[in-house]
Amino acid sequence: MPADSAGATRRTALAVALAVAGSPAACRKTQDVPVAVDAGSNAPAADAGVVQSASAVVGPRCRPEDTSVAMDEARGADVEIGDAVPTANAYALGAVHRTAQGRVAAVMQISRALDTGSSPDASGEPARWLDLAPTLGDAPPPLLVPRPGSPGADLVAAAYLRGGGGIDRGAARNLALYAISSASWAGAPPQPFLIVPQQHDDSLAFDLAFAGSSGVVVWDEGAAPSRGVIRALALEGEAGLAVAHDISPPESDAELPKIEPDGSGFVAMWIARRPEPTRPFDAAEPEVPGETRSFGWLESVRLDARGAVAGPVRALTAASGHVSAYDVVAIASPEHALVVVARDDGESVDGSGGALVRVRIVDDLPESPVEYQSDGLGRGAPAFVEGSGSFLAWVGPAEQARLLSLDRSGAPLGPPSAEDTLNDARPLRVLGGPATAGASARLLVAASTGTGAALRVVVCRRP
């Protein structure tokens, strides 16, 4: 989720219209590769005893299933689809569609009959739409976040407002938060319960997480012409607790924040940057137009339930790296842990090459960074695909999709596979019942078609 390396939200929304970023494939058993970290860094040292498996990327394991979701033709010709989250009896997806008034942020709902292999088309249950408000021309689809234990609200939708939604916030850009419940679909469109003003800059990156009734929203802003800062606002119920405050250190040039609940508080993270030293021109080096290269690495900090910094800032990856995008997920393991996967571009040129680096955070302490096996990277960010099982999806060489099956600790169950079936699609969620080794997984994917957007199901064999 690059620095508005495309105004991404935490879960890299997919533009399913005339073009869709390439996607993923399936899996087998391999070990990780240790990644050295800078001496003196507070990131942990790698275990030199771990070696990479010689296994190559395997052939396809996924096939299309004859299941699709009916899209409203009035909206389906120009739709961007975000991530899918489960509610009590449905899946909700953030979406943006175009109307005569411009781009409108919306929530789309589809039946959980998909979990049993039943097509909503066959059962007469097409997708339902809930329009929120007009959104910015380059804003991603709404971010949907479950809010467990909150009476009357299944989840919160966060989306940027175009023109402030009739609310005067001066020169600020406004992020609106909506409570979405079963009643929201029966009456008038919901109104924002909170408007979070942000300073205008080039980035639309933000994230939101809840732990019980407490929540924290984080975003990046330009604090100076050459420095970004991560800001946070704590929520309690449907109100902001205090004014927004900085959580990244003054010396950091920070961007692309994410946040996850962690026991009694939260863990926030971001990409920190510093420019590479200038080097004299060498005729042996290719002339590549573009931005000046900078070092990029991941940092994290623990926040308490009210969003206040409650621990030291920690480096998760090497400060000499070139991290440009990442994703994070909480994992079901004996200890509470987060798994972070970062795209490190290394010496790559023009958006290809590089490596995928994994870091587990257990009890606020990062473990040794390790490298996932891959045959190279295409363009775009890696993304976790969660549900009844776990996968990691990314784009490989020649813009071909890759999919890697993960165990409950975030370790690979086998080598990644190349999946042409997913080249013009993005996996959104793992459907169905509990995952078992060797069983097939059913994935809900968003794909582009000749006429617009489509939601389909693919079946992928596990190792």
**What pLDDT does 38 receive?**
35
Sign of the Cα torsion 328, 431, 79, 416 reads: positive
CB contact at 8 A, 289 and 267: no
- Cα gap 130→171, rounded to integer Å: 29
Q: Which CATH number fits domain 33-276+293-461: 3.40.1280.10, 3.40.50.300, 3.60.20.10, 2.130.10.10?
A: 2.130.10.10
CB contact at 8 A, 320 and 303: no
| Cα 419 to Cα 32, 325, 427, 462, distances in angstroms | 22, 22, 12, 14
Residue position matching structure tokens 């391999």: 30
**pLDDT, mean over the chain:** 79
Position with higher pLDDT, 436 vs 128: 128
pLDDT (tens digit per residue) in 3-40? 333 334 334 433 333 333 333 333 333 333 333 333 33
**What pLDDT does 290 receive?**
52
**Residue 312 reports pLDDT greater than 90:** yes
**What pLDDT does 280 receive?**
47
**Residue 254 reports pLDDT greater than 50:** yes
Position with higher pLDDT, 437 vs 402: 402
Q: Which two tokens stand for residue 340?
A: 């972070």
CB contact at 8 A, 385 and 429: yes
Strands, E assignment, 22-135: 33-34, 62-69, 79-86, 90-99, 102-111, 128-134
Position with higher pLDDT, 430 vs 432: 430
**What pLDDT does 125 receive?**
65
* CA 408 remoteness from chain centre: 19
**What pLDDT does 433 receive?**
60
Indicate the pairing of strand 355-362 with strand 323-331: unpaired
Nearest 5 degrees, angle CA 55-CA 58-CA 60? Answer: 170
- Cα gap 351→442, rounded to integer Å: 30
- Cα gap 345→349, rounded to integer Å: 8
pLDDT (tens digit per residue) in 320-352? 999 999 999 988 666 778 999 999 998 655 555
Position with higher pLDDT, 139 vs 409: 139
pLDDT (tens digit per residue) in 177-223? 999 988 888 877 789 999 999 887 778 999 999 987 789 999 999 88
| Cα 218 to Cα 175, 259, 360, 442, 455, distances in angstroms | 11, 7, 21, 32, 30
- Cα gap 92→143, rounded to integer Å: 10
Position with higher pLDDT, 400 vs 389: 400
Per domain, the residue ranges of the chain are 33-276+293-461
pTM of the model: 0.83
> Of the given ranges (283-292, 370-379, 411-420, 452-461), which has the lowest mean pLDDT?
283-292
Residue position matching structure tokens 């009357």: 152
Nearest to 459 by CA among 419, 406, 414: 419
- Cα gap 453→73, rounded to integer Å: 10
Sign of the Cα torsion 303, 308, 314, 318 reads: positive
Q: Which two tokens stand for residue 445?
A: 């994917």
**Residue 124 reports pLDDT greater than 70:** no
Query: Which helix H or strand E contains 76, and what residues bound it?
Result: helix 73-76
pLDDT (tens digit per residue) in 43-87? 433 332 232 444 579 999 999 988 777 776 666 567 889 999 998
**Residue 292 reports pLDDT greater than 80:** no
* DSSP track, 218-268: EEEEEEETTEEEEEEEEEETTEE-S--EE-S-TT-EEEEEEEEEETTEEEE
**What pLDDT does 150 receive?**
62
CB contact at 8 A, 176 and 193: no
- Cα gap 103→90, rounded to integer Å: 25
CB contact at 8 A, 158 and 217: yes
**What pLDDT does 118 receive?**
62
Confidence band, pLDDT 50/70/90 cuts, at residue 315: very high
Residue position matching structure tokens 């440009």: 324
- Cα gap 20→81, rounded to integer Å: 10
Residue position matching structure tokens 């790559």: 348
- The three-state DSSP-derived secondary structure of 277-294 is CCCCCCCCCCCCCCCCCE
Give me the phi and psi of 28, to 5 degrees please: 175, -170
